[in-house]
Amino acid sequence: MGTTIRRSQGGRLARRIGGRTLIYAALSVWAFIALFPIYWTVSTSFKVARDVTGSHIIPWLDFTPKWLGWRSLGLSPETIFQTSTVREEFLLRFFNSVVASGGAALIAVVIGSLAAYGLSRFEYKFGPWRNKDISFFFLSQLILPPVVLALPFLILYKELALLDTKIGLVLIYTLMVLPIVIWIMRDQFNGIPMELEQAAYVDGATTWGAFLRIVLPIALPGMAAAFILAVILCWNEYFFAALLTSTDAKTLPVMVASQTGSQGIDWWTMAALSTAAIAPLVLIGIFLERWIVKGLTAGAIK
Amino acid sequence: MQNEIASRAAADARHRAADAAVAKRAVAGRRLIRAASLGLGLVVLAQVLSATDVLPLGLATWRPTLFAYIVWSVALGISQVLIRGEQGKQALFLLPALLFTIAMVIFPTFFGLGIATTDWNLSSLTGVHFDLFGNIATLAGDAFFWNALLNMGYYVLSVLVQYGIAFGLALLLNADIRGRKFFRVAFLLPFMLSPVAISWMIGKSIMEARYGPAATLARMLGWESPAFYGVGWIARASIMTMDAWNWIPFIIILLLAGLQALPGDVAEAARVDGASPWQAFWKITFPLMLPVSVTAIILRIIFELKLADIVINVTAGGPGGATDTVSSFIYREYRDRSSVGYGTMLAEFYLILIIVFVTALLALASRWMRRVS
C-alpha cells in the first residue's frame, strides 16, 4: 500500500520534471528561432567573403571578426573620424526616419488622445452621427490598405508640392497610426473614474482645465505606450515611403530595400546596414517591452 | 418684500444681459464661420480657375487650398465655442482628429474614384481620358490580378497556423517558468523588425540557396539543391514563414494577456475534478479564450490583407505570380508600367472586397460568439 503510493508520487514527480524539461525545450527552440536571424545579421556584418561562403557561424571559433562591413558604411573604428559619403547618406536616412516616425507619433498621440477623451466622456451629435459612429469611423481606417491611398496621395502630394518631403510623410504616417492611438487611449480614459473630474468641476475647474490638470497626468503611461507603438509602426513603414519619397525624404527601410535590390552588394555591407537599421528597434524592444505589451493589449483584452 | 422684488428684477436683468451676451457671441460665431467658409470657397474657386487656365493667377501648387482648409478648421473650432458654449468646448476635443482624418481620407478616396475611371498613365503622351469600362474589362480579364487575389486567400488562411503556434507559445509563457522576462523579450523581438529588414535578413541571406544557413540545413536533411523561391508553392510557403516570424509575437502578446486575465480558480477546480491538462485546456481554457482569440485573429487578418513589403523585396511576386499579393501587384503596376488609372481601379476594387469581407467576418464572429456563450 505504502509503496504503491510512494511509487505513484515518484511517477508524478518524474512526469512533472519531464513536463518541465519539455516546456523549457520548446521555449528554447522558439527563442532560438526568434533570435537567430538577428544574431546571424549582426555576426555577418563582421565577416569576410570566405566566412560567408564557408557558412561560418560562431565568431572567434569559426571565423575572426573583421570590420569589413562596417568600414564600407564608414562606421568602423578606423573610418569613423574620416569623411564618408555612405555614412552621411545613412545618417541622413536615419534622421529622416526619426523625424517621420517621431513627428507622426507625436501628432497622432496629441490629437488622438484629445479625440479619445472626448469620445469617452461627452455625448456628440454631428447630424446623424453619435459617439459610436464616430468611433467606428476612426477605427474603420484600420482596414484601409495603404495601396488604396498610395496612388491618390501620389497625385495629391504632387499638386501640393509635398512629394518627397518629410512633412508629407509625417502627415500620412499620422493618418496610419491615428486609429490605433485612439483605440488605445479610449481604453485608457474609460479606465479612469469620472468622479475625479466631477470633483474638479465642483471646485470650479473648466472642462479643459480638468482634462489637462487631473486626467492627463493619470493617462500619461497610456500615452507613452501609444507613442512607442506608433513610433515602431512608422519606423518600419515601407510602402508609402517607397512611393512618396525619392531623394530628400527617403527613410531607412527604403535605403535598405534599394541596397538589397542591387546585385553586386556584399553580404557584410548589407548585414552592417541591416544591423544599424534594426538596432534602435531591438533596443526599444529589450528595454520598453512592458510598454509595447501595454499598448498592444489595451482595448483588445476586456 | 420690496427688497425681494428689487433683487429679483436685478437678477432678471442680469440674466437678460447674460442672454444678450450669449446671443451676441452666437451671432459673432455664425458670422465667423460664414466668412471662413466663404474664404475657403473663394480660394478653391480661384484654384480651380487657375488650374483650368481660365484665370492666369500663376498658382503653381494647390497649397493655398491646404492653408485655407487649415484656417477654416481653426475658424470652425472658434465658432463652435462661440455658438454652443460649453458643448462647443467639448467638441474641440474631437475636431482636430476628425478634420484631419476627413481631409486625409475622404478627399483621396473620392479623388481615387475619379482617377480609377481614367486611363491615366504617367508615361503616356496622349493625356488622360475617361476609360471606366476599359478598366473594368481589363480587370475582369487580368489573370495576374485574380491570381493575386487567390494568393490572398492562402495568406489569410496561414493566419490560422500562426494562431495555433502562437497559442502554444502563449501557454508555455504562461506556465510557471523561470526566466520569463528573457523569453518574453526574445519572443517579442521579431515584431520589432521591419518587413524590409526581414526581407534581407531571412529572405535573401538565411534562405539564400548557396551560402544561407537554411540552405545548408536543408542540404544536411537531404534536400540536394535547396531553392526556396524556385517552385510556386515552396516560394509561397517561404513568404508565409517570414510573415509568420514577423507577426506571431503580436498574437502571442494578445493571447498571453488573455491567459493572464483568466480567473485562476477555474483551472484549479478542473485539476481538483481530476481533468487531465489536455481536457482542461479544451473544456475550460480554450472556450474562455474565445473572445480574445477572435479579436486576435480578426486583427491579424486585417493586417494580413495589407501584406506587401516582404513580397516586393524578396520575390517581386514571382515565380510566375505565385507569391503575389494584391498590394504588391498594384505596386508593380504603378512602378513598372506607370498606369495610375488602372492601378487605382484595382485598389478601389480591392477595397470594396475587403470591406465586404471584413464586415461579413465581423458579423459572423459576433453571431458565432453569441451562439457559443
CA distance A80 to chain B (A): 24
Give the closest of A31, A55, A253 to B213, CB-based.
Answer: A55
- pLDDT attached to residue A95: 93
Residue B115: pLDDT over 80: yes
Give which of B98, B121, B192 to mutate to test A binding, by max A Cβ within 10 Å. Answer: B192
Please report residues of A whose CB lies closer than 8 A to that of B186.
Answer: 31, 34-35
- Give me the pLDDT at residue B250, please: 93
User: Which of B195, B201, B326 lies at the smallest CB-CB distance from A37?
Assistant: B201
- Segment A165-175, tens digit of pLDDT: 999 999 999 99
Domains of chain B: 2-116 (no CATH), 136-372 (1.10.3720.10)
> Hey, is B67 helix, strand or coil?
helix
Q: Answer whether A151 sits within 8 Å of B358, measured CB to CB.
A: no
Contacts of A122 in chain B (CB under 8 A): 90, 93
Look up residue B213 and give its three cell numbers.
544557413
Amino acid letter at B204?
K
State the average pLDDT over residues A80-105. Answer: 88
Mind listing the domains of chain A with CATH numbers? Answer: 2-73 (no CATH), 85-297 (1.10.3720.10)
**Chain A: closest CA distance from residue B2 (Å):** 33
- Residue B173 amino acid letter: L
Q: Which of B140, B331, B320, B325 is nearest to B229 (CA)?
A: B320
Alpha carbons A297 and A233: distance in angstroms, whole number: 15
Give dist(CA B99, CA B347) in Å, integer: 24
Contact A151 B355 (CB under 8 A): no
Whether B201 and A40 lie within 8 Å, measured CB to CB: yes
The better pLDDT of the pair A132, B211 is held by A132
Taking CB atoms and an 8 Å limit, are B192 and A206 in contact across chains? Answer: no
Residue A2 banded pLDDT, cuts 50, 70, 90:
very low
Residues A11, B145: Cα–Cα separation, whole Å? 59
Distant-in-sequence, close-in-space partners of B280: CB < 8 Å, separation ≥ 6: B267, B270, B271
Chain B nearest-CA residue for A41: B201
For the full predicted model, state whether its pTM sits above 0.95. Answer: no
Q: Looking at chain A from residue 236 to 275, which residues have their Cβ under 8 Å from any Cβ of chain B?
A: 236-239, 242-243, 253-254, 256-257, 260-261, 267, 270-271, 274
Grid coordinates belonging to B135:
478598366
- The proportion of chain B whose per-residue pLDDT surpasses 90, expressed as a percent, equals 36
- Cis (ω within 30 of 0) for the bond into B319? yes
State the first-to-last Cα distance of chain A, in angstroms, to the nearest integer. 50
In this model, does residue B202 exceed pLDDT 50?
A: yes
Residues 6+ apart with CB under 8 A from B195: A236, A238, B242, B246, B309, B310, B313
Contact A144 B90 (CB under 8 A): no
Contact B197 A34 (CB under 8 A): no
- Is A50 in CB contact (< 8 Å) with chain B? no
> pLDDT confidence of A178, banded at 50, 70, 90?
very high
Give the model's pLDDT for residue B175: 85
CB A136, CB B320: distance < 8 Å: no
Give residue-wise pLDDT tens across range B282-340: 888 888 888 889 989 999 999 999 999 999 989 888 788 889 999 999 998 888 887 88
Percent of chain A at pLDDT above 70?
93
Nearest CB neighbour to B177, from listed A23, A150, A175: A23
The contacts of residue B244 (CB under 8 Å, 6+ apart) are B158, B161, B162, B165
Q: Chain B contact for A295, CB < 8 A? A: no
Half-sphere exposure of B129 (CA within 13 A, CB side): 7
Alpha-carbon distance A212 to A195, whole Å?
15
| Minimal CA separation from A45 to chain B, in Å | 11
Chain B residues within 8 A of A156 when measuring between CB atoms? 107-108, 111
Average pLDDT over chain B reads 86
What is the secondary structure of B282-335 as a DSSP string? Answer: IIIIHHHTHHHHHHHHHHHHHHHTT--HHHHHHTTT-STTTT--HHHHHHHHHH
CB contact under 8 A, B354 and A278: no
Question: In a mutagenesis test of the B interface, which of A178, A229, A235, A301 is the best target, namely the one with the most B β-carbons within 10 Å?
Answer: A301
Chain B residues in contact with A300 (beta carbon < 8 A): 254, 257, 292, 295-296, 299
Tens digit of each residue's pLDDT (9 = 90 or more) over A28-69: 999 999 999 999 999 888 888 777 777 777 888 777 788 887
Confidence of residue B269 (pLDDT cuts 50, 70, 90): confident
Nearest CA in chain B to A42: B201
In 3-state terms, what secondary structure has residue B225?
Answer: coil
Q: In sequence order, which residues have a C-beta less than 8 Å from that of residue A289 and are 6 or more positions away?
A: B184, B185, B188
Task: Name the DSSP class of B117.
Answer: T
- pLDDT at position A8 is 59
Count of pairs with CB atoms under 8 A, one residue in A, one in B = 274
pLDDT for the residue A299:
65
Nearest to A74 by CA among A82, A66, A63: A82
| Cell 523581438, located at residue | B189
Contact between B184 and A289 using a beta-carbon 8 Å cutoff? yes
Q: Note whether A142 contacts B: Cβ–Cβ < 8 A.
A: yes
3-state secondary structure string across A70-129: HHHHCCCCCCCCCCCHHHHHHHHHHHHHHHHHHHHHHHHHHHHHHHHHHHHHCCCCECCE
Q: What pLDDT was estimated at residue B329?
A: 92
* N-to-C CA span, chain B: 68
| pLDDT, position B50 | 80
- Name the residue among B67, B70, B82 with its Cα closest to residue B29: B82
